[in-house]
Structure 1
């Protein structure tokens, strides 16, 4: 992950050259998911992810580096994709951390617990047990927030967006509620994973696209 972040930072300065040199193509680097996008003051960019997704874990350094300084007028949002009821417990974990303003300190701990320590956090019981042992989390508050109306409302929104944006898997990124792209759509021709510069160029081009 650290190597990917280093590559991203080194190549970011080349992005504008890549955009001018190569046009992105519908059906290749991106898809149109709705004929009419969302009408909002800020351009909404959503990363749809799942803590249980290994590719999402690998994708975090890239998308978070981009999100540190997005183009002007852009709001970046992380959104758990919910395809079925089994995905709700981990989505509630994310929204609980968001409500408690703990994402900066605990978001990556969740990924590491699942993908490095190989912990099973797929059920509410296992999540609560993990949170109780985590020194960064005030458990009594977390338990209440996890079961709160606010978190349940965010779950409903996540389910609605997953459906209406036709999210096919994770990780994917939507722009304006109209376009979708993702690391699996912008791979290096020679293999070896996502083309970092090309992905960022695609994302920024979609932000400017009508």
Structure 2
């Protein structure tokens, strides 16, 4: 299924090349969030998400398939958006899985637990209980990392990036720390969800944009 999604995204990418840069409009498909973007040779692309967000769950196949083969010189990052203290426990879950190098195997399990199995993972206790009963997770290591300085530092960075990049909600994608776009900005005018071709065209155009 994942390989099929990658093929579809590659096809959509080719189609998106037909959407000219002139057709991508500030204030419609994207916004400028800062006059001066991040400096560096590598273009940083951040997906701001929340495990509790249903739209983020639906967005994962698209953004992750695109990230399988991003344009040259691009680094794709997933970043929990943190708008308030209630969002910290799930953000810590993500960073703990990242430190344990378990995102490939467990990241989607978290989404499925919340949105398919309807589990409540909004508190630290609920998360620890879930992790303890997950065969993919070494619980003692998980519990230690969940409370670690490393994870707390990453949470602070997530809070700072959410604010400085002016992330209005989830899911949104920032490019170069200067531009922001998201599926809600590229909906099909006739209905039917996200215009995948226009989203990919927008993302790739912003990567090339000064």
Q: Same fold (TM over 0.5)?
A: yes
Contiguous gaps of at least 5 residues in structure 2? none
SS of equivalent to 2:23: coil
Helix, strand or coil at the partner of 2:150:
helix
Q: 1:87 to 1:197 in 2, by over 3 A?
A: same
Distance 2:67 2:159 in 1: 23
- For the 8 Å contact 2:6–2:68, the answer to whether it is kept is no
1:79-94 matched pairs, under 5 angstroms: 79-94=79-94
- Whole-Å separation in 2 of the counterparts to 1:164 and 1:207: 19
Name the TM-score, length of structure 1 as normaliser.
0.95
- Cα pair distance change 1:56/1:159, threshold 3 Å: same
TM-score (norm 2): 0.95
Number of the residue aligned with 2:144: 144
Contact 1:59 1:171 in 2 (8 A): yes
Give unpaired runs (5+ residues) of structure 1. Answer: none
1:18 touches 1:198 (CA, 8 Å); kept in 2?
no
For residues 117-166 of structure 1, the C-alpha deviation after alignment (integer angstroms, 9 at most, x for no partner) is 00000000000000000000000000000000000000000000000000
Distance 2:145 2:13 in 1: 42
CA deviations 1:82-131 (Å, max 9, x no partner) are 00000000000000000000000000000000000000000000000000
Deviation of 1:40 after TM superposition, in Å, equals 1.6
> Aligned equivalents of 2:4 and 2:192: distance in 1?
11
- Equivalence for 1:57: 57
